[in-house]
Amino acid sequence: MLYEAPFTVPVAAAAGLVEYASSAPFPFQNSPLPPEALLANGETDYLTLINEAAGILGQIKSLPLTPLFYAPVLSKRYNCNVFLKREDLQQVFSFKIRGAFNCMSHLDPTVTKGVVTASAGNHAQGVAYSSSQLHIKSTIFMPVNTPEIKVSSVERLGGEWVTVKLEGDDFDAAKKAAEAYAKQENLTFVPPFDNDYVIAGQGTIALEIIQQIKQAKQNGIISQDHADAIFAPIGGGGLISGITAYTKLTQSPTKPYGAGGLASRSMYESLKAGQVVEVPTVDLFPDGTAVKRVGDLTFAICKKYLTLADIYNDITTDDLCATIQDIFDETRSIAEPSGALGLAALKQHLLKSPPRPDQVFVAVISGANMDFEMLRFVSERAELGAKREAFLSVKFDDPLKFPEIIKLVQTRPGNKPRNITELVFRRNDPGAGHAVFSFNVDLAGVAQTQSAQEDQTKEVIEQLKASGFVGQSLNTNLLALDHVRYMVGGRAGVDDERLVSFTFPERPGSLQAFLGELEKVNVTLPSNGLLSLSLFHYRFHGGDLVHVLVGIQVPAASEPEFLKLLNGLKALGYIGVIVTSEQVYTDFLAKTQ
C-alpha cells in the first residue's frame, strides 16, 4: 500500500474530528411545514421558501448583501468573466448564518423554549449569532478539547443568549449529549443542512447571484445578463441543494456545479447509488465538507436535478492551497480550505472546457474560518498546487559534482535562467549523492500551467540525463512532499529498517500518548529478537490529524512482534501504513547497500 493523501482517512479513524465526519445527522423531525410552503402534490415549495427567506434575511441590517466580486486576474488567466460570491464576508465569516437564521426565524420566541445543536465550527457560530438577533436561547454542545478560541467566538456571537456545554472527548460524544439534552428539555434541534428552512436560507445565495449578475450587465462590466454556471462546495448538501433548487425552479440558464475534496465523495457516491450512502473516507483538509452521509432532503434535490458530471470530486489538497492563494491575490482575504472548493472546481472546469470570452462564471467563497497554524502548510504547497513550481530529486555517483548540478539546473536550454526555490543536499557514504530541489515554472507565453509543469520537469530530467545524472519528478509524491524534503541527509547505517507512516487525531496529549506506546519498541522480545526505533519525524500542519513517519529496526526473527505491534497500535487508533518500498525512502533515508 502506497503513502496516501495525508488528510484522507477512514471514517473510523476520523471519528469525532469534525462534527459531520463521525456520525449521521440527527434523526430529529421538527415541526411540519405550513400548507403555504407545500405544492399541490405535497412536496416542499422551495421557490416560495427561498423567496421568503430572502425577505427575512434582507430585513436584518446586520446581515448585509454579500458582494459579488469581479476577479480581474482570474478572468484574464482563463479568458472569461470570473466572479466570486463573498460569503466569507458574512458576520460569522461563513454562509452558514443564512440557513441557521432562516430556520430559527420560523420559531416563535414566546413559545419556543430554546434550540440545541452540536458544533464547534461555522454552524455553531451561525446558530449563536442568530440566537442573539432573534432572542432565542441556544445551547451548543462541543467536545471538552475544543480550542478556547472557538468556544469564545461562539460565546461572543451569542452573548447572553447562548450557553456552550463542553461534553465528551469527541464530536460523537458531544452529539449524543446534545441529543439527550434536546429530548430531555423538549428543545428544537437546529441541523446543519438537512432541513427545509436551512436549505432555503442557503438558496438565497443563488437568488442574489442572479440579481447581481444582471446588475453587472447594466453596469457594463459584462455583456450578458446571466451566469453560465455557479460552483459551490458540497458537504452535507445544504448549500448546493439550495442553489440548485433556485436555479432549476426559476428555469435560469445558470447551471449549478458541486465541488468536494478528493476523498469526500458522499454526495457523488449517493447519486451513483441512487440512494443516500455512507462513505468510508473523508477528506479533512477541507474540514467544513468532511461529511460521511449527506442529508435525505438535500440528496432528494440533487438527485432530481444533478448528474455525476455536475460534481467535481478530484480536488486535491495542493489544488486547494493554490486556490486559497488565488483568492488572496484577488481579494487579500484568506479563505478556509472548504471555502475554496467552489473556485478550485471552476478552475478545473475551465481547463477542461475552455470558455468563450463573453461567458460568466461564479464561484461561492463559502467561508474564511481558517486556523492560523494551517497557513504555513498552505503557503508551502500553494505554488506546487498551482503547477507554478516543480519538485525533483537528482542522483549522482560523485558528491563532488554537486556544483556542476547546481549550474545545470539553474539554466534552461537556450541559456534561459531557471529560478530555483529550494535545494537540499547531503553527502551519502559511500560515494553516491542525492539532492532535492524545486524551481519556478516559466509561464511566459504558456496557456496551461499543468502541462508547463510537466514539460519543464521532463526538460530538467533530460538535461540531467545528458550530463550523466539521474533525475526524478516528485511533483505528486506525497511522502516526499510531507516528510522527506525536510529530512534529506537522514540516511543511516541501519539494518532491517521498516518505515511506517502513522495518522491519528490531533488532540491534546495525542502525540505524547503515541510516544508512550512507542516506548514499548526498544525492548528485548520473547523471541530474543529486538525491535528498535531508528527514525521519527513529525511536522505540525495545523490540522485535525497528526502525521508521523517512524523507522523501526526489525530483524527477521522479530517480524511477528513487529506485525503484532502495528495491530496493537491500530486497535488504539494509531493507523500505520508500511512505506518501506517507496523509492524516495530508498534514495534518501535507507541504508546504502
Q: Which residues are catalytic?
A: 96, 366
Q: How many beta carbons lie within 10 A of that of residue 475, not counting itself?
A: 17
> Dihedral (C-alpha) 439, 444, 445, 446: value to the nearest 10 degrees?
30
Cell of 448: 496551461
Q: Which amino acid is at 42?
A: G
Cell of 421: 526555490
Which residues does 86 contact at the CB level (< 8 Å), separation at least 6? 66, 67, 68, 69, 331, 333, 365
Q: How far is Cα 373 from Cα 10, in angstroms, rounded to an integer?
A: 24
Where do we find the cell 518505515? 499
User: In 490-582, which ranges are continuous DSSP H helix?
Assistant: 510-518, 559-571
- Coil, strand or helix at 473: strand
Angle between helix axes 296-305 and 238-249 (nearest 10 degrees) is 40
Q: Which amino acid is at 471?
A: G
User: Long-range contacts of range 396-402, CB-CB < 8 Å, 24 or more positions apart?
Assistant: 396/432, 396/433, 396/434, 396/468, 396/469, 396/470, 397/431, 397/432, 397/433, 398/431, 398/433, 399/427, 399/428, 399/431, 399/432, 399/433, 401/433, 401/469, 402/433, 402/435
Q: Which amino acid is at 231?
A: F
Edge-to-edge, what's the strand order for the sheet holding 545-553? Answer: 523-524, 530-538, 545-553, 497-505, 575-578
Q: What is the DSSP letter of 39?
A: -
Q: How far is Cα 270 from Cα 264, in angstroms, rounded to an integer?
A: 12
Q: What are the backbone dihedrals phi and psi of residue 92, each rounded to the nearest 5 degrees, phi first?
A: -105, 15
Cell of 335: 479563505
How would DSSP label each residue in 503-524? EEE--TTHHHHHHHHHTTTBEE
Where do we find the cell 541559456? 415
Please choose, from the candidates 580, 576, 557, 558, the residue with its C-alpha nearest in 3D space to the C-alpha of residue 567. Answer: 576
Q: How far is Cα 90 from Cα 97, in angstroms, rounded to an integer?
A: 8
CA separation, residue 261 to residues 163, 237, 287, 426, 488 (Å) = 33, 14, 9, 36, 30
